[in-house]
Amino acid sequence: MQIAVVGLGLIGGSVALAAAERAGAAVSGWDADPEALEAARSRGAVQHAAASLAEAVAGAEVVFVAVPVGALPLTVRAALDACGDGCVVTDVGSVKRTIVAATCDQRFVGGHPLAGAETAGIAHARADLFDGATWYLTPTAITSGILFERLHRLLKELGALPVAIEPDVHDALLAVVSHLPHVLANVLAAEAAGALGGGERLPATGPSFRDATRVAGAPSAIWTDIYLSNRDALIARLDAVVARLADVRAALAAGDGDWIEAWNDAAAGDRRRLLEAGGPGGELHELRVSVPNRPGVIAELALSLGRAGVNITDLALHPAPDMSEGVVALWVAAAQSARARQLIDELGFPVARA
Amino acid sequence: MQIAVVGLGLIGGSVALAAAERAGAAVSGWDADPEALEAARSRGAVQHAAASLAEAVAGAEVVFVAVPVGALPLTVRAALDACGDGCVVTDVGSVKRTIVAATCDQRFVGGHPLAGAETAGIAHARADLFDGATWYLTPTAITSGILFERLHRLLKELGALPVAIEPDVHDALLAVVSHLPHVLANVLAAEAAGALGGGERLPATGPSFRDATRVAGAPSAIWTDIYLSNRDALIARLDAVVARLADVRAALAAGDGDWIEAWNDAAAGDRRRLLEAGGPGGELHELRVSVPNRPGVIAELALSLGRAGVNITDLALHPAPDMSEGVVALWVAAAQSARARQLIDELGFPVARA
* B201 chain-A contacts, CB cut-off 8 A: 277, 308-309
B102 touches chain A (CB under 8 A): no
Q: How far is B174 from chain A (nearest CA, A)?
A: 8
Residue B334's pLDDT band, with cuts at 50, 70 and 90, is confident
More confident residue, B280 or A80: A80
- A150/A63 Cα distance (integer angstroms): 11
CA distances from B119 to A129, A303, B184, B313 (A): 27, 37, 19, 29
Q: Which of B128, B178, B213, B311 would best serve as a mutation to test chain A binding (most A beta carbons within 10 A)?
A: B213
- B312/B335 Cα distance (integer angstroms): 12
* B261 chain-A contacts, CB cut-off 8 A: 220, 224
pLDDT at residue number B200? 44
* B27 φ, ψ (degrees, to nearest 5): -110, 125
B223 touches chain A (CB under 8 A): yes
Interface of A with B in 264-303 (CB under 8 A): 264-275, 277-279
**Cβ contact (<8 Å) for A199 and B307?**
yes
Average pLDDT for B321-332: 77
Query: Residues near A342 by Cβ (< 8 Å), separated by ≥ 6?
Result: none
**Cβ contact (<8 Å) for B161 and A204?**
yes
* B115 chain-A contacts, CB cut-off 8 A: 206-207
Of B32-41, B213-222, B277-286, highest mean pLDDT? B32-41
pLDDT at residue number A118? 56
More confident residue, A275 or A303: A303
Average pLDDT for B224-232: 94
* A149-163, A285-299, B194-208, B253-267: range with lowest mean pLDDT: B194-208
Q: Tell me, what amino acid is at B192?
A: A
Model ipTM value:
0.79
More confident residue, B350 or A95: A95
**Cβ contact (<8 Å) for B244 and A269?**
no
Pairing of strands A88-91, A2-6: unpaired
The beta-carbon neighbor of A192 closest among B176, B183, B245 is: B176
Query: Residues near B66 by Cβ (< 8 Å), separated by ≥ 6?
Result: B5, B6, B7, B8, B9, B11, B12, B15, B91, B92
Residue in chain B lying closest to A262 (CA): B220
Percent above pLDDT 70 for chain A? 93
B198 touches chain A (CB under 8 A): no
**Which ranges of chain A does DSSP label H, i.e. alpha helix?**
10-22, 34-42, 53-57, 72-82, 97-102, 145-157, 167-174, 180-196, 207-212, 220-229, 231-253, 257-276, 297-307, 334-347
**Cβ contact (<8 Å) for A228 and B257?**
yes
Angle between helices A297-307 and A334-347 (to 10 degrees): 130
Q: Looking at the predicted structure, is the pLDDT value of residue A283 above 90? A: no
pLDDT at residue number A278? 52
Model pLDDT for residues B151-209, shown as the tens digit of each residue: 999 999 999 999 999 999 999 999 998 999 999 999 999 999 888 875 545 666 777 78
**Cβ contact (<8 Å) for B228 and A263?**
no
Residue whose C-alpha is closest to residue A126's, from A135, A136, A116? A116
* A200 chain-B contacts, CB cut-off 8 A: 307-309
Average pLDDT for B95-102: 95
* A10 chain-B contacts, CB cut-off 8 A: none
pLDDT at residue number B119? 64
pLDDT at residue number A280? 46
Model pLDDT for residues A198-211, shown as the tens digit of each residue: 554 566 677 778 88
Residue B54's pLDDT band, with cuts at 50, 70 and 90, is very high
More confident residue, A195 or A105: A105
**Cβ contact (<8 Å) for B208 and A215?**
yes
Q: Are A166 and A138 in contact (CB under 8 A)?
A: yes
**Cβ contact (<8 Å) for B240 and A191?**
yes
Residue A282's pLDDT band, with cuts at 50, 70 and 90, is low
pLDDT at residue number B337? 86
The beta-carbon neighbor of A216 closest among B188, B271, B277 is: B271
- B297/B285 Cα distance (integer angstroms): 21
The beta-carbon neighbor of A235 closest among B185, B253, B271 is: B253
Q: Please give the CATH number for the structural domain made up of A284-353.
A: 3.30.2130.10
* A266 chain-B contacts, CB cut-off 8 A: 190, 217
The beta-carbon neighbor of B184 closest among A184, A203, A266 is: A184
pLDDT at residue number A2? 97
More confident residue, B212 or B244: B244
Average pLDDT for B96-120: 88
Average pLDDT for A97-116: 93
B214 touches chain A (CB under 8 A): yes
The beta-carbon neighbor of A173 closest among B196, B224, B273 is: B196
The beta-carbon neighbor of B269 closest among A176, A217, A274 is: A217
The beta-carbon neighbor of A196 closest among B173, B190, B223 is: B173
The beta-carbon neighbor of A264 closest among B115, B224, B309 is: B224
Q: Looking at the predicted structure, is the pLDDT value of residue B323 above 80? A: no
Q: Looking at the predicted structure, is the pLDDT value of residue B279 above 60? A: no
- Count of CB pairs separated by less than 8 Å, A with B: 330
Model pLDDT for residues A302-339, shown as the tens digit of each residue: 888 888 888 887 777 777 666 677 788 888 888 888 88
Residue A218's pLDDT band, with cuts at 50, 70 and 90, is confident
* B202 chain-A contacts, CB cut-off 8 A: 273-274, 277, 309
Residue in chain A lying closest to B243 (CA): A242
Q: Looking at the predicted structure, is the pLDDT value of residue B324 above 80? A: no
Q: Which of B98, B265, B274, B312 would best serve as a mutation to test chain A binding (most A beta carbons within 10 A)?
A: B274
Interface of A with B in 148-167 (CB under 8 A): 161, 163, 165
Q: How far is A99 from chain B (nearest CA, A)?
A: 18
The SS3 call for residue A318 is strand
B242 touches chain A (CB under 8 A): yes
* A59 φ, ψ (degrees, to nearest 5): 85, -5
Residue B31's pLDDT band, with cuts at 50, 70 and 90, is very high
Partnered with residue A2 across adjacent β-strands are A26
Q: Tell me, what amino acid is at A163?
A: V
> For residue A204, what is the DSSP state?
P
* A208 chain-B contacts, CB cut-off 8 A: 116, 177-178, 181-182, 185, 214-215
Q: Looking at the predicted structure, is the pLDDT value of residue B280 above 60? A: no
- A99/A230 Cα distance (integer angstroms): 12
To the nearest whole number, what is the mean pLDDT of chain B? 89
Model pLDDT for residues B245-273, shown as the tens digit of each residue: 999 999 999 999 999 999 999 999 888 88
A2-165, CATH topology level: Rossmann fold (3.40.50)
Q: Where are the domains of chain A?
A: 2-165, 170-272, 284-353
Q: Are A78 and A108 in contact (CB under 8 A)?
A: no
CATH class of B170-272: mainly alpha
Q: Looking at the predicted structure, is the pLDDT value of residue A93 above 50? A: yes
**Cβ contact (<8 Å) for B231 and A255?**
yes
Q: Which of A130, A170, A208, A259 would best serve as a mutation to test chain B binding (most B beta carbons within 10 A)?
A: A208
